[in-house]
């Protein structure tokens, strides 16, 4: 279930940043802080 939210957050971040690597880093950082 958590993977689903990470995937959605990563997709959202990718649309803003146009960088898959940065989007993945941001998605992971957000969920680490939760």
Q: What is the pLDDT of residue 16?
A: 93
Contact assessment for residue 27 and residue 5, using Cβ atoms and an 8 Å cutoff: no
Prediction pTM value: 0.69
Quickly list H helices, the chain: 2-17, 20-33
Q: Is the Cβ–Cβ distance between 7 and 25 less than 8 Å?
A: no
pLDDT digits (tens, 9 = 90+) for 7-29: 888 899 999 999 999 998 998 89
Q: What's residue 27's pLDDT?
A: 85
Task: Supply the pLDDT for residue 30.
Answer: 86
Q: For residue 6, what pLDDT is reported?
A: 81
Q: How high is the pLDDT of residue 9? A: 87
pLDDT of residue 34: 75
């Amino acid at each position: 279930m958590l993977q689903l939210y990470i995937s959605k957050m990563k997709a959202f971040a990718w649309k803003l940043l146009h960088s898959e690597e940065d989007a993945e880093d941001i998605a992971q950082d957000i969920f680490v802080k939760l």
